[in-house]
């Protein structure tokens, strides 16, 4: 049986080798762009007809054929062919089979180079919109806990050592801030994604009287890609998105690591919902935090995709090169991994249960109110460096006695400084410590609740 020839085969004396065909084909993964290829093709056809380049009867046939193809793809009836190489030629070939000569006229004044650049931008724009909504959902789950546990005392850490008391709500709001910056970045990236390449054709534009602004408006693009060479070869938007995705995964991975620590009995700060844990094939007692561990691990996958795109684009001469076909799999995988991670984390956070007694016990093990004692002395006129020394001696005395700083007898504290009065014990409690930080961004429960409300308002905008 003779091998099928490619649409451009008239230039060649022999058909493409089967191994080359498999090696160069992208239809196995770029078919997910089909919806956007059809959308862009309809906008292109409408513009060509408005400019008098395409006859109205051909436009009607193209519309009819593309809509049928869209329905077939959605219903899973469309037959994808390796011979047609990619999503674009598969759709074009089927369109021509359905509507005849009109289908062959659709590609007037465009190239697959500007076609694929447009499709990827349309797809990524929609994915960014969905991701921003998913991240907002994760923020909302964190905010539910922050509001409910605005006054729940836990240790704050530096160097993974007990540092100062905070509240569970305050701690979770730190991740809300990270995620909100991520949402902002995605919104900013969307503006640069939302520029139309179509009309650049292969690399130099087209001699047909096209109206790029017409197409941009029809497809919801805010701006045009201004240079035809850049329009077909630019993948900055994909790299920038993957960089943002990598940073989101950094944030999720940090929270994942804390959850892995907190669920360990040595901490015991939280209980994870059992539906988000797995067991051991040999140890019946195990309940493993596989979800946060996998999110932590998948961060490396997203980082790798970013590096892959950077290496892909480095040293590429203008304009389009076949290398650029390799942009899609890392980009698609990044979006899939990020969406899955955010969704599963949202469910896990929603079912999280803090363990107040364990948190409080940890606070009382680390002399967490030492800084409060130093501040107390400063307010009574003691220079900070002198106050620091007094508190250091107090900590040594507490360690010698085997108690937390807050449990030292008043007489012992007074022996260390004549400025210490009977009111000192109030400020040495974890509750007194967090309540004293009443400024915006501080740990006082009232401030935590106000911060959560401000975050809620941002999500509603």
Q: List residues with catalytic annotation.
A: 159, 280
Q: State the pairing for strand pair 195-196/223-224.
A: parallel
What's the N-to-C CA distance of the chain in angstroms?
A: 62
| Angstrom distance (rounded) from CA 458 to CA 317 | 43
Q: Where are the alpha helices (DSSP H) in 352-409?
A: 356-363, 370-379, 384-401
The values of phi and psi at residue 157, to 5°, are: -120, 145
Residues 6+ apart with CB under 8 A from 386: 377
Cβ-contact 228, 109 below 8 angstroms: no
How many residues appear in the chain?
Answer: 461
Here the contacts of 110-113 (C-beta below 8 Å, separation 24 or greater) are 110/44, 110/198, 110/199, 110/201, 110/206, 111/200, 111/201, 111/202, 111/203, 111/232, 112/86, 112/88, 113/200, 113/201, 113/202, 113/203, 113/232, 113/319, 113/320
Q: Which residues of 96-114 are buried (b: 16+ CB within 10 A; e: fewer)?
A: bebbeebbebbbebbbbbb
| Angstrom distance (rounded) from CA 232 to CA 379 | 65
Residues 6+ apart with CB under 8 A from 288: 277, 278, 279, 280
| Angstrom distance (rounded) from CA 393 to CA 402 | 14
């Amino acid at each position: 049986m003779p091998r099928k020839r490619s649409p451009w085969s008239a230039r060649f004396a022999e058909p493409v080798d089967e191994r080359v065909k498999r090696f160069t084909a992208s239809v196995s993964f770029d078919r997910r762009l089909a919806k956007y290829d059809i959308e862009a093709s309809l906008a292109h056809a409408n513009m060509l007809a408005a400019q008098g380049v395409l006859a109205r009867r051909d436009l009607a046939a193209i519309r009819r054929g593309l809509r049928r193809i869209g329905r077939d793809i959605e219903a899973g009836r469309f037959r994808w062919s390796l011979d047609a190489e990619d999503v674009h030629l598969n759709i074009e070939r089927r369109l021509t089979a359905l509507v005849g000569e009109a289908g062959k006229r659709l590609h007037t004044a465009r190239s697959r180079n500007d076609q694929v650049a447009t499709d990827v931008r349309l797809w990524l724009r929609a994915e960014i919109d969905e991701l921003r909504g998913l991240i907002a959902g994760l923020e909302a789950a964190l905010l539910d806990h922050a509001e409910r546990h605005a006054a729940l005392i836990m240790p704050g850490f530096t160097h993974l050592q007990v540092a100062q008391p905070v509240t569970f709500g305050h701690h979770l709001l730190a991740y809300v801030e990270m995620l909100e910056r991520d949402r902002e970045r995605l919104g900013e990236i969307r503006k640069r994604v939302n520029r139309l390449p179509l009309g650049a054709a292969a690399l130099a534009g087209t001699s047909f009287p096209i109206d790029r602004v017409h197409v941009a408006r029809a497809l919801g693009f805010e701006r045009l890609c201004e240079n035809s060479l850049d329009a077909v070869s630019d993948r900055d938007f994909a790299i920038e998105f993957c960089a943002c995705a990598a940073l989101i995964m950094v944030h999720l991975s940090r929270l994942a690591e804390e959850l892995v620590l907190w669920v360990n009995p040595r901490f015991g700060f939280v209980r994870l919902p059992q539906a988000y844990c797995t067991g051991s094939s040999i140890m019946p007692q195990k309940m493993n935090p596989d979800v946060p561990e996998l999110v932590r691990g998948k961060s490396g996958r997203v980082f790798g995709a970013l590096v892959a795109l950077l290496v892909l684009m480095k040293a590429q001469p203008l304009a389009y090169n076949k290398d650029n076909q390799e942009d899609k799999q890392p980009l698609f995988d990044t979006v899939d991994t990020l969406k899955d991670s955010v969704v599963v984390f949202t469910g896990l956070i929603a079912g999280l249960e803090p363990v107040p007694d364990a948190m409080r016990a940890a606070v009382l093990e680390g002399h967490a109110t030492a800084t409060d004692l130093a501040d107390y002395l400063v307010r009574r006129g003691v220079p900070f460096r002198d106050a620091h020394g007094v508190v250091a001696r107090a900590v040594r005395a507490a360690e010698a006695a085997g108690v937390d700083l807050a449990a030292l007898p008043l007489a012992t504290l007074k022996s260390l400084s004549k400025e210490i009065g009977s009111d000192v014990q109030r400020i040495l409690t974890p509750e007194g410590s967090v309540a004293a930080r009443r400024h915006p961004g501080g740990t006082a429960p009232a401030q935590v609740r106000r911060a959560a409300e401000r975050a809620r308002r941002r999500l509603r905008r």
